[in-house]
């Protein structure tokens, strides 16, 4: 119930309807009670007046009064007759009804109406004071008397009527509640149908079919539009990264299989027949070399995976503001061994500090990859130039330029693809795996920068990296 939209909506409907019904019941009962009480009070007042009318003066001139019982009207509720008592100002209690309760307490003067119970029957009483004796004949010389009348009527009938009204309102509310719940159930079911259709279509999406066919009703539904839109864009994103991942897996498998094939064949041919210890030694040394190459490949692949995760992920580490020149200097320092082996001169030219927000490790990795690439594809004794500066619009720029044969025009668009190598035969000669530039690109793009490769045939290759920089 708690975890269902339908359940929650129905619960809300039931709750609000119940509150409404309770309020209605209370208001209805209160109003009925008040109206009936007013009617009862008015009736009692009229009856008190008619009791007063039965008080008459005696024929003599004493000015005494008597109560003429013969004309007393019948009570409205014969099973619970009304009570009354009449006092005169002069001589006290004049009369009272036969059923007047002996110990009835009359509240001190002031209260005009009050309720009491007698023999478990609720009564409402009225005290009328200063009533004149209506029987007043002309020419009488005595002082006219005033009366105090207490008149009480049972409230049994009134309470019954209030109860009936209450029961009626409650029953009507319950009927309405049931009808509302049924209507709400039907309406919610209808309202949720586009969602079910959407779910049905979403279930058809798989690694082979990335197309989400949004049902017409769901498309038109205003509340579902954000959902369908984000599903569609999410699927497009997922498809892209899935395809990329699959390509990478294919390439990686291919790249891994060759060194494994070499290793396996070395060991199998070693085991084919008994060998001399020199042959075993040579075989094991070869195996170790192949294994090391495999290990290197794995390291590069992991580095690429990390760089791409970093590039795709939104997680931003706490980045310090660093100087671009320092990262380049350190990268040049790191690559010095390789440069010395190949007799390559690295010239670093800087032009004032270029502060930017980055992890220095990431940038050093980019520069070492670019430098390594430049050195590998340069002839011996050549020079590699690194120029650090800013673009016209204030972005940081690093250009790594070599004087090798230059990348073939056909390879230029592909150099940043993973595992791409212009000439596969060069791989083993130069020792690359075709991942360095892909890693550089992933990292540069993670920082919102761009990387491009240009060539001058016969003169070399320029790799240009531009990164968002901070103002001086």
Partner 1 sequence: MRVLIVEDEPRLAENIARSLRESAGYAVDIAADGQEGLFLAESNAYDVVLLDLMLPHMDGMQMLTRLRQSGQHTPVLVLTARDDKESVVALLNAGADDYLTKPFDLGELLARTKVLIRRGKGQPSPVLTIGDLELNTVNRTVQRAGRPISLTAMEYRVLEYLAHRPRAVVSKTELLEHLYDYNWEKFSNVIEVYISGLRRKLDDGSARQLIHTVRGQGYILQE
Beta carbon of residue 383, minimum distance to partner 1 (angstroms, whole number): 28
Angle formed at CA 63 by CA 66 and CA 51, multiple of 5 degrees? 35
- Given the complex with partner 1, which of 283 and 360 has the nearer CB atom? 283
Instruction: Kindly tell me the burial class for residue 74, based on how many C-beta atoms sit within 10 Å of its own C-beta (0-12, 13-18, 19 or more).
Output: exposed
Quote the least distance from Cβ 411 to partner 1, whole Å.
Answer: 14
Alpha helices in 342-423 (DSSP H): 360-376
As measured in angstroms, the least distance from the Cβ of 298 to partner 1 is 15
| Contact assessment for residue 451 and residue 438, using Cβ atoms and an 8 Å cutoff | no
In the complex, the smallest distance separating the C-beta of residue 413 from partner 1, rounded to whole angstroms, is 20
Contact set with partner 1 (CB under 8 A)? 250, 253-254, 257-258, 260-266, 268-269, 272-273, 286, 290, 423-426, 428
Q: Which is nearer to partner 1, 179 or 261 (CB)?
A: 261
| Shortest reach from residue 378's CB to partner 1, in Å | 20
Is the Cβ–Cβ distance between 338 and 377 less than 8 Å?
A: no
The span from the CA of 68 to the CA of 54, in Å, is 5
Q: What is the closest distance, in whole angstroms, from the C-beta atom of residue 463 to partner 1 in the complex?
A: 24
Which CB atom, from 148 or from 266, has the smaller least distance to partner 1?
A: 266
Complex with partner 1: residue 287 or 452, whichever CB lies closer? 287
Q: Judged by CB, which is closer to partner 1: 18, or 269?
A: 269
Residue 459 CB, nearest distance to partner 1 (Å)?
Answer: 24
Nearer to partner 1 by C-beta: 262 or 412?
A: 262
Angle at 396 between CA 393 and CA 400, to 5 degrees: 120
The burial of 384, by beta-carbon neighbours within 10 Å (0-12 exposed, 13-18 middle, 19 or more buried), is given as buried
Identify whether the C-beta of residue 293 lies closer than 8 Å to the C-beta of residue 259: yes
* Residue closer to partner 1, measured from CB, 361 or 423: 423
Q: In this structure, are residues 440 and 370 in contact, taking their beta carbons and an 8 Å threshold?
A: yes
Question: For residues 267 and 311, which CB has a smaller minimum distance to partner 1 in the complex?
Answer: 267
Which is nearer to partner 1, 424 or 458 (by Cβ)?
A: 424
Q: How far is the CB of 245 from partner 1 (least distance, A)?
A: 16
Residue 89 contacts residue 145 (beta carbons within 8 Å)? yes
Rounded Cα–Cα distance for residues 7 and 14 (Å): 10
Closest distance of CB 392 from partner 1, Å: 42
Q: How many CB atoms lie within 10 A of CB 434?
A: 19
Strand 345-349 with 383-390, pairing: parallel
**CA distance linking residue 75 with residue 156, whole number of Å:** 13
SS3 state at 307: helix
- C-beta closer to partner 1: residue 316 or 428: 428
User: Residue 64 has which token pair?
Assistant: 């005494």
Shortest distance in whole angstroms from residue 450 CB to partner 1 = 31
Sheet strands (E) in 205-275:
none
Q: Which burial class, exposed, middle or buried, applies to 312 when counting CB atoms under 10 A from its CB (0-12, 13-18, 19+)?
A: middle
Query: Minimum Å distance from CB 341 to partner 1?
Result: 22
Residue 35: CB atoms within 10 Å: 14
CA 254 to CA 424: how far, in whole Å? Answer: 13
Give the residue with the Cβ less far from partner 1, 435 or 469. Answer: 435
Task: Dig out the tokens for 132 from the structure.
Answer: 């004149």
Cβ contact 255:433 at 8 Å? yes
Q: Which residues contact 104 (CB under 8 A, 6 or more apart)?
A: 83, 116, 118
């Amino acid at each position: 119930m708690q975890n269902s939209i339908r359940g929650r909506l129905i619960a809300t409907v039931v709750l609000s309807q119940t509150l409404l019904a309770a309020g209605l019941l209370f208001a209805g009962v209160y109003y009925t009670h008040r109206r009936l009480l007013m009617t009862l009070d008015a009736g009692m007042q009229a009856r008190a007046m008619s009791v007063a009318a039965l008080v008459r003066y005696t024929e003599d001139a004493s000015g005494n009064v008597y109560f003429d019982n013969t004309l007393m009207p019948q009570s409205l509720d014969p099973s619970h007759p009304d009570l009354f008592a009449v006092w005169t100002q002069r001589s006290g209690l004049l009369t009272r009804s036969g059923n007047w309760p002996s110990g009835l307490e009359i509240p001190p003067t002031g209260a005009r109406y009050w309720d009491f119970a007698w023999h478990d029957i609720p009564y409402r009483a009225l005290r009328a004071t200063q009533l004149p004796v209506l029987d007043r004949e002309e020419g009488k010389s005595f002082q006219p008397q005033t009366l105090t009348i207490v008149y009480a009527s049972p409230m049994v009938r009134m309470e019954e009527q209030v109860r009936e009204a209450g029961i009626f309102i409650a029953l009507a509310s319950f009927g309405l509640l049931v009808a509302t719940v049924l209507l709400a159930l039907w309406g919610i079911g209808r309202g949720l149908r586009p969602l079910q259709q959407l779910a049905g279509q979403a279930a058809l999406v798989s690694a082979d079919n990335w197309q989400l066919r949004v049902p017409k009703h769901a498309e038109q539904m205003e509340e579902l539009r954000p959902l369908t839109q984000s599903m569609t864009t999410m699927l497009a994103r997922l498809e892209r990264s899935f395809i990329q991942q699959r390509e990478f897996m294919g390439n990686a498998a291919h790249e891994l299989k060759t060194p494994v094939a070499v290793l396996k064949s070395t060991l199998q041919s070693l085991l084919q027949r008994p060998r001399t210890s020199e042959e075993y030694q040579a075989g094991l040394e070869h195996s170790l070399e192949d294994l090391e190459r495999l290990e290197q490949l794995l390291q590069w692949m992991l580095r690429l995976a990390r760089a791409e995760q970093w590039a795709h992920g939104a997680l931003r580490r706490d980045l310090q503001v660093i100087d671009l020149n320092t990262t380049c200097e350190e990268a040049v320092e790191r690559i010095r061994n390789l440069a010395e082996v190949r007799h390559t001169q690295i010239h670093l030219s800087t032009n004032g500090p270029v502060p930017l927000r980055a992890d220095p490790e990431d940038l050093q990795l980019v520069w070492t990859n670019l430098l390594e690439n430049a050195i590998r594809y340069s002839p011996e004794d050549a020079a590699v130039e690194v120029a650090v500066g800013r673009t016209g619009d204030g972005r940081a720029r690093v250009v790594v330029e070599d004087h090798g044969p230059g990348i073939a025009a056909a390879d230029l668009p592909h150099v940043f693809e993973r595992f791409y190598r212009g000439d596969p035969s060069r791989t083993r000669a130069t020792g690359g795996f075709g991942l360095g530039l892909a890693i550089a690109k992933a990292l540069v793009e993670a920082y919102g920068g761009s990387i491009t490769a240009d060539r001058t045939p016969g003169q070399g290759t320029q790799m240009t990296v531009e990164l968002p920089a901070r103002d001086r």
